[in-house]
Each structure stands twice: as C-alpha cells, then as structure tokens.
Chain A
C-alpha cells in the first residue's frame, strides 16, 4: 500500500517539476538580447538617450552564409527615464532586453555633471543588474559613440573594458569602480567618490584618470599620475607604478625611467584645528632605462635618483591635495578617519565648510632604488686596467 502511494508521489512530483517549466517567467535565450554595455547620454528632446550594446551571436566571420562584419550592434532611444528609454529600445528590437549580463555602464560627462542620481537609482533598484557592474565616465565624445567603437584587440567594447580592469598588472592605470563601491563611497562622510574616465583617441579607446564626484555630481578630475597618488592618500599600498624623472649630471640632462615603483603609506593625524595630517611614504623601485648608458653607476648617482624621486613624489602628493582642496572635495576617506576616531573633533572642524580646505599636510617620502637593471648589474666598479 505504502509502496503504491510512494510511486504515485514520485509521479506526481515529476509532473510538478514539469509544471514549473511553464511558468510565466520562462524565456528562451533566443528571445533575449543580452546587453553587455549601457551608454547614458543627455537626450536631444527627452532627458536621457540610452544606448545598449548587444552582441550578435555567431560572430564575425564566414560561418554559414553571409559574412558578418561586426560582432555587436548598438541601439539607442531617448526617454525621460532610463526605464522609458529601454522600453523604447525594446520596441525596435525583436527580443526582450536582458540586463543580467551587463558589464559596463558608460555615462557621458554631461549626465555625470547634471543628472546622475536618477541613473544610479535605476541601476541599484533593478535586481537584474549586478551590483558589480563597472562605471565609466566618457568625456569629449558621447557615451554611445564610445561603446560603438570597435577595438581590434578585444572586439566588444564592453568586454574590452571588463578585461582592461581585470588585467592583473595595472601599471599606473585607472582603477575600476563598481556600482556598489561608488554607492558605498558616496555615503561616507565626505560624500565623494571616483569613477574612471574614458575617451576616444585616434588610437581607439583610452581609459585614463578618474572623475571625482561629490553629491553625485562630477566636480573634477584626477589626472593619470594623480590617480596613483590618490591610492596612497587612501592609505592603500601602491604597486607597479611606472615613473620617469630627469636629472642634471655634469650639465647634461639624463632621463631616468623607473618601473615596479611601490609605496607603502602610513597616515596619521593630529587633533589640532586646522587638522594636521602626517603622511609617511616608504617606497622602492627599479631603474629600467637611462638616456645615457650607465656603465659605471656610482652610488652618488643612485642617491641622486632617490632624492629626486622623493622630491617629485612629495610635490605630486601636495599638488593633488591642493587640487582637491580647491574643489572642496575629499575622496580619500580622510574625513571618515577623523569621524570614526573622534566625532566631536570632526564636528568642530566643520569638514564640509572649511575643515577639509584648511587641513594641513606634512608629507615625508623615503625612496630606495632596489636594482639598476635586471639581467645586468651596473653598480660594480672596475679596479685596475
């Protein structure tokens, strides 16, 4: 009796599993357009112009019939909200837009300056969009033009960006900002966050520098070398930086290129008004190239490289700080540090009014050259003939 009941149960359950396949959410892969990149520009008539990058499966090549030249298509429409624009795009595509595989959201400079908040709201509310999508601000050209540009290296622009930030050795390049990182940073006490900046050059896609946001508005930009310094000010270790300096030796200019430059910061502050930050940087690097072949490198010359490096990094750090103080925006969690440590002191400083702008910095740099070449050793001194 029980055995019969069990058999019936098993049959019933398998029917049930079949039933669950017919529910309303089921949609075949063929019916979906997988969107890998979104481009958000200011619309001509309506608020936003939204472009979507859809890969074409089967890809370029001659597989079966007509030869395809592109591996993706970009469609765009305008709308007063992102959702409206997406709905309008759905009207001009045969399939349903699917944002589950979205990798990159590119935002034009104009939108970043004027109307970013509703965009972020849409991105963070939609459960199909993963919180780790990459954000990118596009300057000089439209975001749509940017995601419509093919790179011979990686065919799909969205995948190019994804790979760019995934590459292990980010030699002095911009760091990625994921949606949740941006949202997190803009809810810290300084209400500031950064997003990498991309543009188009004759060579193709270029990602360099970081846009600085305060209260969801693009207020400034950190240039290439300032991005590296930014990392130090966040009290994070800096690795794999390339750096070039110029030295004077016996009236002659010698260019020195350093690689694998790394710095470890140590940040502290004193509770004075204005607040006094102490930033100690200890670092090292390798010499890879000299404009004058160094056969007999003297210790004195290496010392000079070290001193020049210390001087330049210090100036770079101070310049970056001044730049952000002029904009009255602080994207390095410095205010957060004070806020965590002593809330009353933070209040007393009036961080957003003048506390940050008046903050003083004492930067000290200690740099040593590790090696002067990798497979040849240049430090040795010849004795005799």
Chain B
C-alpha cells in the first residue's frame, strides 16, 4: 500500500472532529438509561483521559517517524496477538458503525419518513457511502474539511441561540452535584463512549505530512467537541429541565424546534436541521468503513480492497436491520465495549509501543515515501 504523506494540521483537526461529533450531538445528553442531572459535567470530566490518549499519540509520532501505528504493532506484537487486536478493532468498528446507522434510521423514521421501511431508508445511504469509501482517504478528508466549518458554525449557533432564549433558566440546571461521587463516576463510565470514535485517527496519522503539528490540532479538535457536547447538554437542561429533557429522543431536535423563527419558510427548523445532519452521518460512516478497510489491507496486504468495502457494508447493513430500535438495556454493554475499543486498548497499545522504543533510537522508517 503506497502512502502519500500530504495532510496538514487542519486536515487532522477536521478529520478527528468529524469522526467523533455526529451521533452524540443528536442523542446527547441522556443516552445511558440511568441518568444523573449534570450530564454536562460528566462529559467534561470523562474527556480528560482522552486528552491523555492524544498526548500518547503525539509521543508515539515522536518515537516512530513514519507515524504508522499499525505497522509498529505488526513489528512489535506477537503474530497471533496482532491479529487478535486487528480483529477486535474491526469488530468494534463494525458494531459502532451499525449503531450509527441504527441511530440514523431511527431519527429518519421518527421525523422524516414514517412509512418507508428501514431497509429502503438505509439502502441508498449504504450505496452512496460505499462509493465514498471507494474514492479513498483524499476525497474523504476533503469532504471533512469542507464540512467541518459549516458543522461547527451550525452547532455553535444552535447552542448560543438556546442560551439566549427566554426559556433558558439557570434554575433548571441546578443543583450541579446531586449524587455522591461514586454514583457520578459510575454513571460517567458510559459517557466515555461518546469520545470513542477518535480511533480512526490512529490510521489517519500515517498520511500526515512530516513536521506538521500533531498534538495541537488533535487537542483543539477534542476541546471543540467537549465544548459542543457540554454546551449542548447545558442548553438542553436549562431549556427543558431535567425530567422533561430525559424523555426526549433527540434533545437537539427539540431545541431547534423551540427556536423562534418568524418566517413560514423556516417554520420547522428542526426538520431542516435533521436534513443537514444526515450529511454528517455520511461522513462519520464513510470514515469508519474506510478505517476497517485500511486495517484489513494493512494486516492482509493481498486482499481486494473493493471486495472488502462491499463485504463490510453488507455486514453492517444486515446488522443494523437486525438490531431493534430502543434497545436501551443493552446500551450499557455496547458502551463498555466502546470504551474498551476506543480508549483502553489503544491507550495500552500506545503505552506499549512508546515504551518499546526509547527516545533517540529511530529505525526502519525507510519504506515510506514522503
């Protein structure tokens, strides 16, 4: 697999932001079944370990000049363990991609296409996403870069509008701490899963131009995501109150509904927002599928890439059709799996790799063209 290292810091920022922010925005803040009032605080607290992970990634890029995480794994892990890790990454990505499409079909069927069967809603989505993956990382990154500014603008304006409406009251936000610390931390664990989609960034690093900043754009991207998640959770809580907000399927949709528009054209701003957000689903889904194909190709260089695009899409398509909606009880399991896949395993591997190669002993980085 020939790799052209061409992306700049802003591309990294856009890529990381775009892979993380989609699903959380629609369903936050109350997604874990058992809820506490101050979910905005949870989202702030649980982001801290991820900053540590980003620091480890930047340390890794200092120790391994080719930035190639999966090649380093192949070099340093035992053969069988390497394949177990790759396999788990693939399974984890398939599961979270299926969750994404499941969420997409849920929101489309509730708000837009009530009668159309799920398979018909998802089929065009999968085909177009497949074409997106076929065009490769350059096209995907361009898409992310174009979209990221618009996405941030839309989200920040929704949040700012929520805060400046008459309906927003701080009294609904208080009390900030309504449980004991243990319950708070226990309930926070599931919210760690919100940031787990950072994983595909590990594969993106390899395409980064040498000498470009790594840590700063990643940190900035995560800070932006944390601001959006927490701001949104606060806005929702202050506008709807805890008890009512908890019952909402998609709080941000309800929030856009509450925003006053004086013109008939924008009567249903919420539906316009959902329409816009479907594009965001494309981007997230394409990145996840690309990631799976990338690591498959990395582990087994002889496989046919296009065949695997079709296989993965077919598997996810079947999986998301089979998964019933409103499976809140099983989300706990899914969330824990996501934390393992998106945080625990990558962090352990990054620590292992950075320890394996002490500072100042760079070697075997010759087979990457720059």
Residues of A within 8 A of B (CB): 9, 13, 16, 19-20, 23-25, 100-101, 127, 130-132, 166, 178, 180-181, 183-185, 187-188, 333, 336-337, 340, 343
Contact B174 A340 (CB under 8 A): yes
Within the complex, which residue of B110, B115, B128, B243 is in contact with A13, where a contact is CB–CB below 8 Å? B128
13 contacts between A and B (CB under 8 A): A9-B131, A13-B128, A16-B124, A24-B113, A25-B113, A131-B257, A180-B167, A184-B241, A185-B241, A188-B241, A336-B171, A340-B174, A343-B175
Residue B127, interface by CB 8 Å: yes
Contact mask B104-141 → A, CB, 8 Å, 1/0?
Answer: 00000011111111001000100110010000000000
Contact B267 A184 (CB under 8 A): no
The distance from the CB of B132 to the nearest CB of chain A, in whole angstroms, is: 11
Contact B262 A183 (CB under 8 A): no
The distance from the CB of B310 to the nearest CB of chain A, in whole angstroms, is: 14
Residue B258, interface by CB 8 Å: yes
Residue B240, interface by CB 8 Å: yes
Within the complex, which residue of B120, B254, B262 is in contact with A23, where a contact is CB–CB below 8 Å? B120
Within the complex, which residue of B120, B244, B257 is in contact with A187, where a contact is CB–CB below 8 Å? B244
Residue B172, interface by CB 8 Å: yes
Inter-chain CA distance A178–B166, complex, in Å, is 12
Inter-chain CA distance A380–B10, complex, in Å, is 68
Residues of B within 8 A of A (CB): 110-117, 120, 124, 127-128, 131, 167, 171-172, 174-175, 239-244, 254, 257-258, 260, 262, 267-268, 270-271
The distance from the CB of B217 to the nearest CB of chain A, in whole angstroms, is: 32
Contact B258 A132 (CB under 8 A): yes
Contact B115 A25 (CB under 8 A): yes
Hey, which chain B residues are within 8 Å of A13, CB to CB? 128, 131
Contacts A19-B124, A24-B116, A340-B174 given; indicate if A184 touches B244 (C-beta within 8 A): yes
Hey, which chain A residues are within 8 Å of B116, CB to CB? 23-25
The distance from the CB of A262 to the nearest CB of chain B, in whole angstroms, is: 16
Inter-chain CA distance A132–B259, complex, in Å, is 8
Contact A20 B124 (CB under 8 A): yes
Contacts A9-B131, A130-B268, A130-B270 given; indicate if A184 touches B172 (C-beta within 8 A): yes
Contact A25 B175 (CB under 8 A): no
Inter-chain CA distance A341–B251, complex, in Å, is 26
Hey, which chain A residues are within 8 Å of B120, CB to CB? 23
The distance from the CB of A74 to the nearest CB of chain B, in whole angstroms, is: 21
A sample of 5 more A-B contacts (CB under 8 A), given A9-B131, A180-B244, is: A23-B116, A101-B268, A180-B240, A180-B257, A187-B242
Hey, which chain A residues are within 8 Å of B115, CB to CB? 24-25
Contact A166 B267 (CB under 8 A): no
Contact A178 B258 (CB under 8 A): yes
Hey, which chain B residues are within 8 Å of A131, CB to CB? 254, 257-258
The distance from the CB of A166 to the nearest CB of chain B, in whole angstroms, is: 7
List the B residue with the shortest CB-CB distance to A129: B257
Contact B241 A187 (CB under 8 A): yes
Contact A184 B171 (CB under 8 A): no
Inter-chain CA distance A194–B174, complex, in Å, is 22
Hey, which chain B residues are within 8 Å of A187, CB to CB? 241-244
Contact A16 B128 (CB under 8 A): yes
Inter-chain CA distance A183–B243, complex, in Å, is 9
The distance from the CB of B16 to the nearest CB of chain A, in whole angstroms, is: 28
Inter-chain CA distance A130–B260, complex, in Å, is 12
